[in-house]
Amino acid sequence: MASKTGKILAVDDNTDILFALKLLLRPHVEQIVTETNPSNIPNHMKETDFDVILLDMNFTQDAISGKEGFYWLDKVLEIDPQAVVLFITAYGDVEKSVQAIKAGATDFIIKPWQNEKLLATISSAIKLNRSKREASDLKEKQKEINTIMDQPFADFIGVSPGMQQVFKTIQKVAGTDANVLILGENGTGKELVARALHRHSLRKEEPFVSVDLGALSETLFESELFGHVKGAFTDAKTDRPGRFELASGGTIFLDEIGNLSVPMQAKLLTVLERREVTRVGANKPKPIDIRLISATNMPLKQMAAEDGFRQDLIYRINTVEIEIPPLRERPEDIPLLADHFLKIYSRKYNKKINKLSNQVIKKFNTYPWPGNVREFQHVLERAVIMSDSPNLDEGSFHLSSHGSSGEAFDFDSYNLEEIEQKVIEKVMRMHSGNISKAASDLGLTRTSLYRRMEKYGL
């Protein structure tokens, strides 16, 4: 977990467990509240919107049935059907953990836990909670967003040949229903391209529904994407449409498609081939009318060659490919992007800021921008906030040393296995436990990374 995000409530009758959780999570999350008495859960939930609730299965001494945990899980979901609950279970209680997931828990943590694994599970639960909440009021917001954004390439800057090519392709394919795969490094503007395609399509009055596949756990994948019917599992209190149905008539944007596990790829492929979804618990499929746009920063074709990504799914999603070049390969765009963001941030922070000097632009041109336009945007925002004068000079911009996470390797042994373990640990930390991203950086398939993690007990 890179920056402190997420509010956590941990409920366990064992104060040692709560203390250990507090100690471990405090450096990573915004807030951690601990509670020994589960009857106080409703009060805590009234006071704070928790991203994740960690819930013990047994509270009374010597109880092992897990009934209390299930009772409190029900209560939590009654108060907030969207709540993300992770059960804390004893080693060997796998059967109950599976039941817990059926009953509406998101995942489980087995005691005694491994810190890295626990952090990774909590980090993806936080992400999941955030995207669940976003989805719930999506439809209403969508129309409003569409009107605000309905200006051709309004805030989409690019004069470089690379970006001109991107704009040309958007214009050519937007009006068709072709499936588009957008490729590009993080922060290059893949979502902007997807939205531009939608805004220039015949479906522009209909919803644009974005799904971050990187944040979806295996257990929630189907109900999030395909929906569920009342009673399909315990917390399925009402029928609920999935994202495919929400996008009906419009566009569905599957971001981070390279992060899908192979079983999830198979489920997605079936839906795309049949053009129909079956809600979890239902037996009748519903036809779907969507335009599909996908994006990834991962080398899908290389992954396909290593069996990490299905070749037949690639064929389904990439009728047209749009590749966005990284910012370092299009220096022509830098002065324009600078003007654009300076205008936005000087207005936002109520400061007068002059045009940047050639010297500053030269410095920008030599920096590799590993985070692309997103990084550029943040660097400018920070400079505007910190500036005391309308003239920003080279010293006003804080550029991190390229590619480094600020953490150097310090090997105290030449044992290759030890080195491998350290490298895996570091890369997993860099990506906040995201297996797909870590595997991609390490040049491994997800399966090989899992195997190595198991070997080192990570």
Ligand X SMILES: Nc1ncnc2c1ncn2[C@@H]1O[C@H](COP(=O)(O)OP(=O)(O)OP(=O)(O)O)[C@@H](O)[C@H]1O
Tell me which residues touch ligand X (CB under 6 A): 155-158, 184, 186-192, 255, 297, 373-374, 377
Judged by beta carbon, residue 222 or residue 333, the one nearer ligand X is 333
Judged by beta carbon, residue 159 or residue 458, the one nearer ligand X is 159
- Shortest distance, CB of residue 291 to ligand X, whole angstroms? 18
Judged by beta carbon, residue 187 or residue 242, the one nearer ligand X is 187
Judged by beta carbon, residue 32 or residue 356, the one nearer ligand X is 356
- Shortest distance, CB of residue 427 to ligand X, whole angstroms? 17
- Shortest distance, CB of residue 227 to ligand X, whole angstroms? 25
Please report, for residues 34, 149, 156, 289, 403, the alpha-carbon distance to residue 252 in angstroms, rounded to integers and kept in the order given. Answer: 39, 17, 20, 10, 32
The residue of the chain with the least Cβ separation from ligand X equals 189
- Shortest distance, CB of residue 449 to ligand X, whole angstroms? 20
Judged by beta carbon, residue 89 or residue 131, the one nearer ligand X is 131
- Shortest distance, CB of residue 158 to ligand X, whole angstroms? 5
Judged by beta carbon, residue 92 or residue 403, the one nearer ligand X is 403
- Shortest distance, CB of residue 191 to ligand X, whole angstroms? 3
- Shortest distance, CB of residue 109 to ligand X, whole angstroms? 28
Judged by beta carbon, residue 169 or residue 447, the one nearer ligand X is 169
Residue of 249, 261, 282 whose CA lies nearest to 124: 261
- Shortest distance, CB of residue 163 to ligand X, whole angstroms? 6
- Shortest distance, CB of residue 90 to ligand X, whole angstroms? 38
Residue with structure tokens 């040049």? 443
- Shortest distance, CB of residue 91 to ligand X, whole angstroms? 37
Judged by beta carbon, residue 289 or residue 339, the one nearer ligand X is 339
Calpha distance 160→69 (Å, rounded): 58
HSE-CB at 201 with a 13 A cutoff on CA atoms is: 30
Judged by beta carbon, residue 109 or residue 157, the one nearer ligand X is 157
Please report, for residues 19, 25, 38, the alpha-carbon distance to residue 34 in angstroms, rounded to integers and kept in the order given. Answer: 8, 11, 10
Judged by beta carbon, residue 80 or residue 339, the one nearer ligand X is 339
299 class by beta-carbon count within 10 Å (0-12 exposed, 13-18 middle, 19+ buried): middle
Q: Please compute Rg for the chain using Cα positions.
A: 24
